[in-house]
Amino acid sequence: MHNSERVEIGYVSLSSHRETVDFLRGKLLPLVNAGALVLDAGCGEHNRLIDKRNVGKLIGCDVNEDAIQRNKSISEGIVRDLENLDFSDNTFDLLMSYDVIEHIERPELFIEGVARMLKKRGRLFLVTPNRNSIFGIVARVIPCRLKKILLRLL
């Protein structure tokens, strides 16, 4: 890591989902500009933090095709497993993932792909649930394969 690079890791306790979204949006928006190419890895049905109007292009990637089709925040949607992202090297200015990595069976493959796909000064904005929250506990207890099966059934 170069001396000029900054890594921010921290723990913040917020009282509501709305407060959490506002806090995260405040951290994310300064990282992008109007011409940025952004990948929302695990975009789901919507993105509360950033919108295609905030950046040059916001590509959403998810395993759920129906969720991508309903997502109005993204410029373009791609159905893909996050362990097998095949975008070109040095493509994205920002890669974001909100409460998704805990659902990936082999997160190390995702992180390797992120490192390859980000531009030299690109940023990774990764949010995970509190490990001890009910959501964090359930995410750890249910195997990834079962989550994928349940997602297809629902």
CATH of the domain at 36: 3.40.50.150
> Which residues fall within 8 angstroms of residue 3, CB to CB, at 6 or more apart?
none
pTM of the model: 0.78
Number of domains comprising the chain: 1
Phi, psi of 93 (to 5 degrees): -80, -35
Q: What is the pLDDT of residue 149?
A: 65
pLDDT of residue 3: 45
109, burial (CB in 10 Å: exposed 0-12, middle 13-18, buried 19+) = middle
Q: Is residue 94 part of a domain?
A: yes
CB-side neighbour CA atoms (13 Å) of 133:
11
Could you give phi then psi for residue 35, rounded to 5 degrees?
Answer: -105, 5
Please state the separation of Cα 74 from the chain's center in Å.
13
| Structural domain that includes position 42 | 17-153
| Model pLDDT for residues 78-104, shown as the tens digit of each residue | 999 999 898 999 999 999 998 888 888
How do residues 34-84 score in pLDDT, each as one tens digit? 999 999 999 999 988 999 999 999 999 999 999 999 999 999 999 999 998
